[in-house]
Amino acid sequence: MKNQIPIFLLSLSAVLLAAPASADDVTGKDKILCTTVQITECFADGGCEGGPPENWNIPRFTRIDLEQKTLKTTEASGQDRETPIERIEQEGNDIFIQGAEGGKAFTVLLDLDTGTATLAIALEGSVLAGFGVCTPIDSLQ
Amino acid sequence: MHRTASLAMAVTLSLGTLLTAQSTVGEPTGQRTLAATMNVHVFPADGQAADQQSRDEAECYNWAVNNTGSDPFDLSRQAQQQEQQADQARQQAMQAGEGAGATGAVVGAAGGALIGQIVSNDPGRGAAWGAGLGLAGGRRARRQAQAQATDQVESQAGRQQQATQEQIAGFKKSFAVCLEAKDYMVKF
């Protein structure tokens, strides 16, 4: 419980800092912080279920390092999770970030102009769709 | 060493009978005899005294151990250990299939993969897709592995239990034959 309070406060501060800067211009930035608010999972039978990212063990905040090619959780989350990015491709003002891990394949479409992110993760027998907003990490400092 | 300890236990169990032996031939003493501790019912058909019966039972116990190579007290301990081991193996088998498919089980888990630790909110529904196409998905394969591991544990535990029961039954037969030769009526 004691550990959860500072984590909560750090997360809250990250939200407060990120909120006014949500959907920022991230053009030319290597280190980006993205937040995911809602996830929808769709199955082969056509049905879909939505909910907060925690329901799928997806972190609220994810740091994208385009230079190091990694997706990482924030320190404030208390989780130390990381996934390598296998492919980064830029097409106009969009960046496609792709990779696979543990039988899951992911694609993030990042709009550099607006900082909006569209996430798709293919699981076995279902697909997760998520939407988020990103901001350059240096804008938080 | 085991046999000595078992015999000592048997003698101790019978000691009460010896100490409280009544002069009346064949009259129950109220104490459990060595045979009674093994659920073997013995009646002194020839009117043997309780102390004589205890000595005969101890002698026959020793003879049956030599004859069968099994000691029921050791077998009982062995059966308990096997049951404990089987319980542990069951738990391990159950854990074998858990992990990625267990929604919420890894939520908040620290360390490891970011994408790799993402779980479906309804893994059974997702797996049905692969099952419908006759595909052996990872999650389904894990469930099958879990079921196989559990079956294997149950099967092994069953075999061990059966073997122990057969050894105990063999011992009792041998014990009974010996007592019958000494003019006791024996049922088990």
pLDDT digits (tens, 9 = 90+) for B57-72: 999 999 999 999 988 8
Give the pLDDT confidence score for residue A87 in this predicted structure.
95
pLDDT beyond 50 at B14: no
Nearest to B117 among A41, A81, A128 (CB): A81
| Residues B164-187 as b or e (16 or more Cβ within 10 Å = b) | beebbebbbebbbebbeebebebe
Backbone angles phi, psi at B74, to 5 degrees: -65, -40
Mean pLDDT of chain B: 74
B-chain CB neighbours of A106 within 8 Å are 115
For chain B, which residues make up each domain, given as ranges? 2-72+171-187, 78-167
CA distance B102 to A138: 37
ipTM of the complex in this document: 0.76
Q: What percent of chain B has pLDDT over 90?
A: 23
Does the predicted model carry a pTM greater than 0.95? no
For chain A, which residues make up each domain, given as ranges? 4-140
| Confidence class for position A14, pLDDT limits 50, 70, 90 | very low
Q: B129–A126: do the CB atoms touch at under 8 Å?
A: yes
Give the pLDDT confidence score for residue B96 in this predicted structure.
59
Give the pLDDT confidence score for residue B44 in this predicted structure.
93
The shortest C-alpha distance from B121 to chain A (Å) reads 6
Task: Give the three-class secondary structure for B66.
Answer: helix
> Which has more confidence, B169 or B21?
B169
CA distance A42 to B114: 20
Q: B130–A41: do the CB atoms touch at under 8 Å?
A: no
Residue (of B113, B126, B101, B116) closest to A49 by Cα position: B126
| Packing angle of the helix pair B123-132, B138-181 (nearest 10 deg) | 100
Q: A56–B128: do the CB atoms touch at under 8 Å?
A: no
> Which has more confidence, A84 or B151?
A84
Q: B113–A44: do the CB atoms touch at under 8 Å?
A: no
pLDDT beyond 80 at B15: no
Average pLDDT over residues B86-114: 61
Cα angle value A60/A65/A67 (rounded, 5°): 175
pLDDT beyond 70 at A1: no
Nearest to A82 among B114, B138, B139 (CB): B114
Residues found in chain A: 141
B-chain CB neighbours of A55 within 8 Å are 103-104, 107, 121
Show contacts of B5-8: CB within 8 Å, 24+ apart. B6/B65, B6/B71, B6/B73, B6/B74, B7/B58, B7/B61, B7/B62, B7/B65
B119 Cβ contact list (under 8 Å, min separation 6): A56, A57, B100, B101, B102, B103, B104, B105, B106, B107
Q: Domain spanning A4-140 has what CATH number?
A: 2.40.128
